[in-house]
Structure 1
């Protein structure tokens, strides 16, 4: 067996309409629409690479919150948002217009990354690749280079 790619991610959310708005209107992800009734309130999103990359399932306002700090479970997921630092600067301006705070910014050598949270607190890395694929394939240690503050 060999994994070919990460196919999709499924997140539990408290309020589907609120999360649908965030992923569709703030992040600009296309929602996959269908006329099939679902057994639970849910919404799917795709960049066009595959049938869906993100599925949101509503669990309601009484769901337990994610515990803060170090814990077992997902830390964050990454979304590629462009090819250059100028595009990343535009992302910062876009997030500011939508009132979404940037929680962190890192230079990972192979990527430049911003960190935000969705309405339920799921951390999201928004990144651009800054090194060509052939460079990090030739020297995989670049992937684990020390993380530096990002200066846009």
Structure 2
């Protein structure tokens, strides 16, 4: 067996509309369906929304679980740390992303120069960490795989 690509990510969210607004209106992800019906024609028990960059049918699926759902624990824990979304190919594009998320009041929790990527780290409305990044054009990690593990430096945009 060989993995060909990461296909999609599914997140539980407390409030679907709040999360849809964040992923669609702030991050600019194209919503491909809002609330599909089950095969009896009635609404699903847990409302869902899906998003795609156009690469495949969906790359993100959100499932509403309600306001009483337990929060993602802070600090060191098992499970997902963050997921990355490529937002462009240049620092100019990353600067535009920074301006957009700042205007929207999105919490920025980090900014790093990973040699192969320049990254901003933010939290979604449910506390899931997201890396917004660009690949550094002249970082030839294919020829020098050690670049992937280069020391992390502060990002200077």
TM-score, with length taken from structure 1: 0.95
Check if 1:79 corresponds to 2:85. yes
**How far, CA to CA, are the matches of 1:139 and 1:124 in structure 2?**
26
Three-state SS of the structure 2 residue aligned to 1:95 is helix
Cα pair 1:79 1:125 within 8 Å, conserved? yes
CA-atom RMSD in angstroms? 1.3
Cα pair 2:35 2:48 within 8 Å, conserved? no
User: 2:142 aligned to 131, 137, 149, which one?
Assistant: 137
Equivalent position of 1:97 in the other structure:
103
Equivalent position of 1:30 in the other structure:
30
**How far, CA to CA, are the matches of 1:87 and 1:23 in structure 2?**
18
Deviation at 1:35, TM superposition (A): 7.4
Three-state SS of the structure 1 residue aligned to 2:141 is helix
Deviation at 1:36, TM superposition (A): 3.8
Equivalent position of 1:69 in the other structure:
75
**Any unmatched runs of 5+ in structure 2?**
39-43
**Any unmatched runs of 5+ in structure 1?**
none
**How far, CA to CA, are the matches of 1:116 and 1:34 in structure 2?**
24
Runs of 4+, deviation exceeding 4 Å: none
Q: 1:50-61 to 2 correspondence within 5 Å?
A: 50-61=56-67
Cα pair 2:35 2:47 within 8 Å, conserved? no
**Which has the larger helix fraction?**
1
**How far, CA to CA, are the matches of 1:115 and 1:48 in structure 2?**
23
**How far, CA to CA, are the matches of 2:22 and 2:147 in structure 1?**
33
Deviation at 1:132, TM superposition (A): 4.7
Deviations 1:4-57 (A, max 9, x none): 000000000000000000000000000012774042210000000000000000
Cα pair 2:15 2:66 within 8 Å, conserved? yes
**How far, CA to CA, are the matches of 2:55 and 2:116 in structure 1?**
22
**How far, CA to CA, are the matches of 1:35 and 1:115 in structure 2?**
29
CA 1:14–1:35: 2 relative to 1, 3 Å: closer
